[in-house]
Amino acid sequence: MQDIKHIIRCIILLIILFIVLIIGKTFLTPKSFGQYGNYRGDSVKRISEIPVKFKGSDSCSSAECHKDNYKTWQEGIHSVVNCETCHGPGNAHTQNPENVDMVIPEEPCLVCHQKITGRPGDFPQVEPKSHYGDKNKSCVECHNAHSPIIENEKGSQSK
Amino acid sequence: MNRREFFIQTGKILAGGTLLWLVGFKPNLMDSTGSPTNAAENVPAYDWEKYLYAFVVDTTKCIGCGKCVAACKSENNVPNGQYRTWVERYIITNEHKVLVDSPEGGINSFKNNSPSLSKGEGFSEEIVKAFFVPKLCNHCSKPVCVQVCPVGATYRTKDGVVLIDAKHCVGCGYCVQSCPYGARYINIRTHTADKCSWCYHRITKGLLPACVQACPRGARLFGNLKDPESEIKQIIDKERVGVLKQAEGTEPNVYYLGFDKEII
């Protein structure tokens, strides 16, 4: 008889412990946990509300400031390259153009157009030394970075 | 009150409290309809039921300029030396040596030859094939990282993006170890797990991920599989695409055009 009493006491204690655990869990689990699945539903909203930094090339067209460069870029072969690819993230600049400057890269061309192992053959690449000799020239002395194809006098194009 | 009575009373109080608690408090399991991102201001309503995202990398177009890596870094405040996306270069020689390099994730493009190629003593092999392979989180349909997270801090959304709840993450690093693609890292600033989110804060606003927008060659494509007209759906349905480590059974959602057997 004495043994059964001990077992019953143990079981009661276990039940109490279980209840305390369940209560503790409801207190400690974040409120939106389980809203959509085994995670905090609020975190989806939090992540999607992070502000963006890259604005897109369209925002440069609406501004009067870059009208000429935008037109040159849009009509040239480099129109496949977005403004911010070379000039860096522009959202802050569109909101505060006077205080936030864009990046003006010093050597914008060779990062893509230097001939290196691995670049696909159909992509225009140069070995600077053989392209313009030993002269310490900058690409932009001849090419316009926004529309780099040079039309020579005969009307044919050279890249 | 003796000990016996004390235990009995305590038990009654606890049981009563529990009952009251369960009746009075309903965790908000019921209102799980609707999209969680609708409340954002100045943004058209976003319904995550209408989207299922996928990513295509065209390795035949990639020029290894690293603009994607740089764009990702600025858009997502990725610490130096850590990468949400990176570019690898594979060089295959005539003696079938495979050399892979990715200096600083490829952020400043690549040198003409890989260090291992130029330093190798008596190296007389010819390069027969070389190409670039951009890598990022594969946003698997069966993500291992989600399964191993002990606190439910990483999950796959209804629109098919694997995200990290940095506020809830305890930084144990299980997910970092479990990812077969090495896409995750412990952010040195926040000490929580971090990885590519396909720029979830951009795509829910109708924009493209920063790396896709930055790519000058269109080597990265992103879109909605639920839209039958989308370019991404057309490519995955009609072109010959490959995925990384198919045998892992993770069902990745980043597809590679121009896949090579050497790519791991």
* ipTM score for this prediction: 0.85
Q: What is the pLDDT of residue A150?
A: 86
pLDDT band at B30; cut points 50, 70, 90: very low
Residue type, B67: K
Both tokens of residue A134?
Answer: 């030993």
Neighbours of B58 (CB within 10 A): 20
Q: Name the minimum distance, in Å, from the CA of B87 to any CA of chain A.
A: 12
Q: Which residues of B touch A36 (CB under 8 A)?
A: 32, 36, 157-158
Helix (H, G, I), strand (E, B) or coil at B163: strand
* Per-residue model confidence (pLDDT) at position B40: 46
What is the number of residues in chain A? 159
Q: Could you tell me which chain A residue has the CA closest to the CA of B11?
A: A16
A31, A38, A54, A79: best to mutate for the B interface, most B CBs within 10 A: A54
What is the mean pLDDT of the segment spanning B197-201? 97
Handedness of CA B106, B110, B111, B116 (dihedral sign): positive
Spatial separation of the C-alpha atoms in residues B204 and B155, rounded to whole Å: 17
Q: Could you list the beta-strand ranges (E) of chain B.
A: 53-58, 85-93, 98-101, 127-136, 154-156, 162-164, 185-186, 193-194, 220-224, 241-242, 254-257
Q: Is the pLDDT of residue B211 over 50?
A: yes
Looking at residue A139, its pLDDT comes to: 87
| Average pLDDT of every residue of chain B | 89
Task: Kindly report, residue by residue over A1-32, the tens digit of the pLDDT.
Answer: 678 999 999 999 999 999 999 999 999 999 99
> Would you call B133 helix, strand, or coil by DSSP?
strand
User: For residue A149, what are the contacts with CB-CB under 8 A and spacing of at least 6?
Assistant: A76, A77, A157, A158, A159
Are A16 and B39 an interchain contact pair (Cβ–Cβ within 8 Å)?
no
Tens digit of each residue's pLDDT (9 = 90 or more) over B99-112: 899 999 999 999 87
Nearest-Cα residue of chain A relative to residue B117: A117
| Range of lowest pLDDT (A50-59, A130-139, B29-38, B132-141) | B29-38
Q: What is the pLDDT of residue B124?
A: 63
Structure tokens at B260: 């090579």
pLDDT > 90 fraction of chain B, expressed in percent and rounded: 72
Give the C-alpha separation, B219 to A6, whole Å.
72
Nearest CA in chain A to B36: A45
Contacts of A106 in chain B (CB under 8 A): none
Using 70 as the pLDDT threshold, list the residues of chain A that sit under it: 1, 134, 152-159
* Region of residue A57 (phi > 0: left; psi between -120 and 50: alpha; otherwise: beta): alpha
Please tell me what DSSP assigns to residue B165: -
Asked if B155's CB is within 8 angstroms of A37's CB, the reply is: yes
Distance of alpha carbon B11 from alpha carbon B238, whole angstroms: 67
The Cα of A110 is separated from the nearest Cα of chain B by a number of Å equal to 9
Across the interface, do A80 and B218 touch by the CB < 8 Å criterion?
yes
B32–A41 CB contact, under 8 Å = yes
Q: How far apart are CA A68 and CA A4, in angstroms?
A: 93
Residue B123 has a pLDDT of 56
pLDDT in tens, B39-55: 444 556 899 999 999 99
Interface-testing mutation among A13, A47, A146, with chain B (most B C-beta atoms within 10 A): A47
The top-scoring range by mean pLDDT among B87-96, B116-125, B172-181 is B172-181
Chain A closest-CA separation from residue B131 CA (Å): 4
Name the packing angle between helices A2-28 and B3-24 (round to 10°): 40
Mean pLDDT, residues B15-20: 80
Instruction: Return the pLDDT at B24.
Output: 61
